[in-house]
Amino acid sequence: MFKAKEAAGVTVDPERIPRHVAIIMDGNGRWAQKRHLPRIAGHKQGMENVRTITRAASDLGVKVLTLYAFSTENWGRPQKEVSYLMSLPVTFFNKFVPELIDQNVRVMVMGNIDRLPESTRTATLNAVRDTADNTGMVLNFALNYGGRDEIVRATQAIATDVAAGQLQPDQIDMQAVSDRLMTAPLVH
């Protein structure tokens, strides 16, 4: 007989809990619009939801929770909105890293973080560093992440290994590609 797991009012069969859950954080603008609030109020609420979802996923025994927080396409949004979005990781990590440590949650990040503003990058990297020894759920933020960018980087890594004679073209299989995706470090 299984022992049901419960979190955030949901009861789940522990056998059926996915290892890795990924969430595209969408609908913030619509949420705000419905309430006659500015779009950024929706993003603020989205950030608060990260806290709730993280706790629930961790309590349910999810191993990796990936949150698509900012895509490479999101730079095209109005400057004020981009600035606000860039301030969210700073607010979030300043407020919640102690709580994440308490929950044994480890923060990781995927995407081209070199292009993020200094304050965003530092807050994120500090959170990664401060939670590096945690052994529970991985909370993986996709920041300045793009699917095409990920493919380009994986392809470059494969080409580099082939050029160096470390990989033969006929050895390029699904595993070889998986090993070079941004999700590779998450598998533990």
85 binds ligand FPP (CB under 6 A): yes
Is residue 54 within 8 Å of residue 100, measured between CB atoms?
yes
- Go through 92-103 and write b for each residue having 16 or more CB atoms within 10 A of its CB, e for each that does not: bbeebbeebbeb
Please compute Rg for the chain using Cα positions: 18
Task: List the catalytic residues.
Answer: 26, 74
Q: 57 to each of 7, 53, 54, 163, how far by Cα in Å?
A: 8, 6, 5, 42
* Two structure tokens written together for 118: 């200094």
Cβ proximity to ligand FPP, 19 vs 95, nearer residue: 95
Minimum distance from CB of 105 to ligand FPP (Å)? 13
Per CB under 6 A, 122 contacts ligand FPP: no
Q: Name which of 153, 59, 165 is nearest 112 in CA terms.
A: 153
CB of 92 or CB of 145, closer to ligand FPP: 92
Interacting residue with ligand FPP among 27, 98, 147, 185 (CB under 6 A): 27
142 binds ligand FPP (CB under 6 A): no
Q: Does 28 bind ligand FPP (CB under 6 A)?
A: yes
Helix axes 118-130 and 79-102, enclosed angle (nearest 10): 10
Question: Could you tell me which stretch among 15-23, 69-77, 111-119, 170-178 binds ligand FPP (CB under 6 A)?
Answer: 69-77
For binding to ligand FPP (CB under 6 A), which residues are involved?
25-30, 39, 43, 46-47, 50, 69-70, 74, 85, 88-89, 92, 141
